[in-house]
């Protein structure tokens, strides 16, 4: 992370600590409640510049016998960490995601995820994610990611007609 960082300012309209964060797209694999095969993560604003979520580890998420698949864990981190830019304003997309798998994460447990903004420089937002199984002093995974702010309308303009919700988006309802 660079040494010279911008000041972080909470967006006046973002969720307050304890309040739900609005999904960025109802069919998002991570947080969309209408995603047919998604993680259906419900996220809440935490203290400071953080977002928290809980994810029950279900059988369909299995990778090694009885434990979570690494890609599912990475997806969960991507989405929870990807929600943090909303605390300060514009939408941002992942350009870099690094995951440390520290301990096995068994099926049947509930994964507690917390993501926070470490710093911002220009369009780049540096974030960290931590996951535990109920005891915050024993993390089972950690992630670091860089998100870059975008003009969402322009960024998705070329692809939006492939969306499961293309009609709504094209009708000018970017209400997500
Ligand atoms: C009409 C429709 C309306 C719809 C409205 C819907 C609203 C929805 C809202 C919000 C959605 C949020 C969704 C979150 C979902 C969870 C997160 C994901 O899974 S996202 C999916 C995976 N990610 C991507 O698909 C990005 C693919 N990448 C790109 O498209 C480009 O790289 C982009 C646009 C992000 C940046 O490209 P450039 O050309 O604009 O800018 P450059 O100069 O390349 O990068 C900007 C800065 O970032 C650094 N950078 C870029 N990549 C880097 C990297 N890999 N590592 C480190 N730094 C990197 C660069 O060095 C540069 O830094 P320096 O400003 O010069 O200091």
Give the chain's domain count. 1
Asked, for residue 165, whether it belongs to a domain, the answer is yes
Backbone angles phi, psi at 166, to 5 degrees: -55, -40
Rg (CA), the chain: 16
Asked, for residue 31, whether it belongs to a domain, the answer is no
Asked, for residue 66, whether it belongs to a domain, the answer is yes
CA count, 13 A, side-chain hemisphere, 23 = 17
Task: Using the mean position of ligand 1's atoms as its centre, give its distance from the Cα of residue 97 in Å.
Answer: 12
Asked, for residue 8, whether it belongs to a domain, the answer is no
CATH number at residue 97: 3.10.129.10
Asked, for residue 88, whether it belongs to a domain, the answer is yes
* Rounded Cα distance, 108 and 89, in Å: 36
State yes or no: pLDDT of 176 exceeds 70: no
Q: For the segment 48-87, what is each residue's pLDDT rounded down to a tens digit?
A: 999 999 999 999 999 999 999 999 999 999 999 999 999 9
Does ligand 1 come within 6 angstroms of the Cβ of 77?
Answer: no
Structure tokens at 159: 């692809």
Burial class (CB in 10 A: 0-12, 13-18, 19+), 167: exposed
For 77-123, where are the E strands, in sequence order? Answer: 92-101, 110-121
| Domain housing 64 | 43-170
Task: Using the mean position of ligand 1's atoms as its centre, give its distance from the Cα of residue 147 in Å.
Answer: 6
Q: Atom of ligand 1 at shortest distance to CA of 157?
A: 1
Other C-beta atoms within 10 Å of 43: how many? 24
Q: Contact at 8 Å (CB) between 88 and 45?
A: no
Residue from 79, 91, 93 to probe ligand 1 pocket by mutation (most atoms less than 8 Å from CB): 93
pTM of structure: 0.96
Asked, for residue 67, whether it belongs to a domain, the answer is yes
Q: For the segment 114-172, what is each residue's pLDDT rounded down to a tens digit?
A: 999 999 999 999 999 999 999 999 999 999 999 999 999 899 999 999 999 998 888 87
Asked, for residue 89, whether it belongs to a domain, the answer is yes
Asked, for residue 102, whether it belongs to a domain, the answer is yes
Q: Whose CA is nearest to atom 40 of ligand 1?
A: 150
Q: What sign for the dihedral angle of Cα 22, 14, 91, 71?
A: negative
């Amino acid at each position: 992370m660079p040494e010279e960082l911008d000041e972080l300012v909470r967006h006046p309209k973002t969720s307050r600590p304890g309040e739900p964060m609005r999904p960025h797209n109802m069919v998002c694999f991570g947080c969309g409640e209408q995603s047919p095969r998604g993680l259906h993560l419900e996220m809440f604003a935490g203290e400071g510049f953080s977002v928290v979520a809980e994810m029950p580890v279900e059988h369909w998420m299995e990778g090694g016998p009885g434990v979570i698949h690494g890609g599912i864990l990475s997806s969960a981190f991507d989405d929870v960490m990807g929600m943090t830019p909303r605390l300060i304003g514009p939408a941002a997309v992942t350009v870099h995601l690094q995951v440390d798998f520290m301990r096995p994460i068994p099926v049947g447990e509930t994964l507690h995820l917390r993501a926070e903004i470490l710093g911002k420089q220009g369009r780049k937002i540096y974030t960290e994610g931590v996951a535990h199984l109920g005891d915050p002093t024993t993390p089972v995974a950690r992630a670091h990611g860089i998100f870059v702010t975008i003009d969402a309308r322009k960024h998705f303009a070329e692809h939006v007609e492939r969306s499961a919700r293309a009609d709504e988006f094209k009708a000018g309802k970017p209400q997500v």
